Amino acid sequence: MKIKTLSQALAAVLGTFALAGASPAAVIVGTGARPSSTQLGATTAVGFKKEEGQPGHALLVPYFTAQNGQMTVLHLMNTDIDNGKVVKVRFRGANNGDSLLSVHVLMSPGDMWTAAVTANADGTAQLTTGDRSCTLPRLATGVPQRFSTDRLDPGWTPDITAAHTREGAIEAIVMADIPQLRVYGADTASNSALFKAIKQVNGIAPCTFEDSAVNAALMSEANSEAVAAGRGLAGPTGRLAATWYIMDVLGSTTFSGPATAIQAVDGAGDPARGNYMLFPPTDSEVAQPERYTSDPLLVSAGLAFRDKDMPGNTSRPTTAPVLTARSNDFPDLSTPVYLPPTATNAATTAADLSRLLTVAGFRNQVVLDASISARTDWVVATPTKRYSVGKDYSQPDPADQRVYSVVPPLRTTLQYFHSGNTEVGQSICSMHGTWDLWMADREATVTVRPNPNFPNEKYESCGAVSVFAFSDSYVLSSAVNRRRLNGVFREGWAGMTTSDSNGIPVIGASFIKLTNPGVAPGVAGNYGLSFPHIRRLPVK
């Protein structure tokens, strides 16, 4: 077989990244007062805290798009000037949170990494970087890495499949630190080989795809603390920040914002050290994946269910895993950061994070002023939904397509997603009729929906990401879970309210486009604004 592209070369070297045998993948609880060549540093985190626009252990970007010529750019910033970071960056599809592309980014202290999502000639999304920081798979500067479609619905046409790669959300997770401590080498007074490989020399990191230090540290499992520490790694301390922007090239408009940060914190609420969570970027099969994820499509047979009620009672357990769990699937947002790796603790991690993001509703601005051709779309993302429910594309009967995990794991609190508040369409949606929409214009006139003229209109979110348009002229050109909100709206502010007593984990933003009709010829008159949703918390 001739190798013509970067993705084919990577597949040839890593077998897309298949290796023989099954990986003994592990999450390691660190010990030691500080990192050393034998200890990862004690895991001191005991919980999560959410921060907007701040550094964290995990970062959530609610939306990326490459639809209709748009481009999304991600900037990662290592604000830690003492430690490097190994970061898992994953792009998930809007329909079902399916993994489209993931890459290990190795950042030196104070480093910054940038990459852009665009569409290639056949419409499939691709990731391109001009950055020289180390990555696995190795992303050569200026050479696109095509998004994968192997986790998408095999029944879709090529055009639909390509469209589903062009829209979704991004998560970035710090898996491990790379200390610049001089405690390695034969003299125990040197930087680790891994740190030397990622630290820029004259602006360029020495690592290459064949670099032995990078491969030795990342391409095989460290199944003990001593092994991981000896490779120059330590438990993650977070301190990773991110910003994003979406550029509508054809429309001469740009939207931007910060990522939502999830910090692993100690008992005082301060950022702390979490568990080592570094998995090789391979397709090796992972045994007992439920130790590392609550994703119902990945866990072992019998640990996910076709039916689940609000209290967490289940029926119809799966008789086989829906998907084969691969090392490259981990870590995810449910991987235990401050608890030992067990099935219960993965579900607890997903529940703790969901609780941080849960809202009873949210509010934001709407601008539709015709004099400036104003338009407004709302993005509604549910980053933790996939850890409670996923769509099984292999089942033709919609009644069997929902697969649930019990999150929270103990049947003492209500479930976030269950058979009573979800329904199946192209994606898994919140149950029709369970969300309300209302609006207040700039003169405080309040209109409450549902509108009797549109009894079938849906306000509920669908899949991993939904886009709601307040007019026929769309801002984001969404093609996956887009909803046109019918009726006459005026500029002001609006709110969506869920009827779920436990709330729904949601993040997102309002995207507003304006056009100045009075600009001189040849001068761009388009403007893009984005504002994160204002959360309405559940009443406890």
Give the 3-state secondary structure of 463-494: CCEEEEECCCCCCCCCCCCEEECCCCCCCEEE
The predicted-structure confidence for 167-207, as pLDDT tens digits, reads as follows 999 999 999 999 999 999 888 899 999 999 999 998 889 98
- Residues 6+ positions from 439 with CB-CB distance below 8 Å: 366, 446, 447, 449, 489, 490, 492, 493, 494, 495
Span 271-293, average pLDDT: 96
Residue 2 has pLDDT above 80, yes or no: no
**Amino acid letter, 236:** P
Residue 263 has pLDDT above 50, yes or no: yes
Residue 317 has pLDDT above 50, yes or no: yes
The predicted-structure confidence for 504-517, as pLDDT tens digits, reads as follows 999 999 999 998 87
Specify the higher pLDDT residue, 210 or 477.
477
Q: For residue 208, what pLDDT is reported?
A: 65
Q: For residue 523, what pLDDT is reported?
A: 65
pLDDT band at 305 (very low <50, low <70, confident <90, very high): very high
The predicted-structure confidence for 40-60, as pLDDT tens digits, reads as follows 999 999 999 999 989 999 999
* SS3 state at 238: coil
pLDDT band at 14 (very low <50, low <70, confident <90, very high): very low
Which of the residue ranges 100-104, 251-255, 306-310, 387-391 would you say has the lowest mean pLDDT? 251-255
pLDDT band at 250 (very low <50, low <70, confident <90, very high): confident
Whether residue 505 has a cis bond before it, omega within 30° of 0: no
Residue 519 has pLDDT above 80, yes or no: no
Span 525-532, average pLDDT: 92
DSSP run (H or E) holding 347:
helix 343-357
Number of CB atoms found within 10 A of residue 457's CB: 16
Cβ-count burial 104-139 (b if 16+ within 10 Å, e if not): bbbbbbebebebbbbbeeebbbbbbbebebbbbbbb
Specify the higher pLDDT residue, 112 or 14.
112
Span 114-127, average pLDDT: 97
Which of the residue ranges 354-368, 465-479, 519-533 would you say has the lowest mean pLDDT? 519-533
Q: What Rg do the C-alpha atoms of the chain give, in angstroms?
A: 23
Q: For residue 446, what pLDDT is reported?
A: 80
Residue 21 has pLDDT above 50, yes or no: no
Q: What is the mean pLDDT of the chain?
A: 90
DSSP string over 4-41: -SHHHHHHHHHSTT--SSEE----B---SSS--SS---
Residue 387 has pLDDT above 90, yes or no: yes
Residue 19 has pLDDT above 80, yes or no: no
Q: For residue 72, what pLDDT is reported?
A: 98
d(CA 510, CA 34): 43
Cβ-count burial 291-317 (b if 16+ within 10 Å, e if not): bbbbbbbbbbeebbbbbbebebebeee
d(CA 302, CA 262): 31
What is the C-alpha end-to-end distance of the chain, expressed in Å?
61
**Torsions phi, psi of 482, nearest 5?**
-90, 140
Q: For residue 22, what pLDDT is reported?
A: 38
DSSP run (H or E) holding 223:
none
Specify the higher pLDDT residue, 12 or 447.
447
pLDDT band at 450 (very low <50, low <70, confident <90, very high): low
Q: For residue 436, what pLDDT is reported?
A: 86
d(CA 88, CA 278): 9
d(CA 309, CA 273): 36
**Torsions phi, psi of 480, nearest 5?**
-100, -70
pLDDT band at 6 (very low <50, low <70, confident <90, very high): very low
Q: For residue 209, what pLDDT is reported?
A: 59
315 φ/ψ sector (left φ>0, alpha ψ -120 to 50, else beta): beta
Q: For residue 540, what pLDDT is reported?
A: 55
Tokens of 152: 């998408």
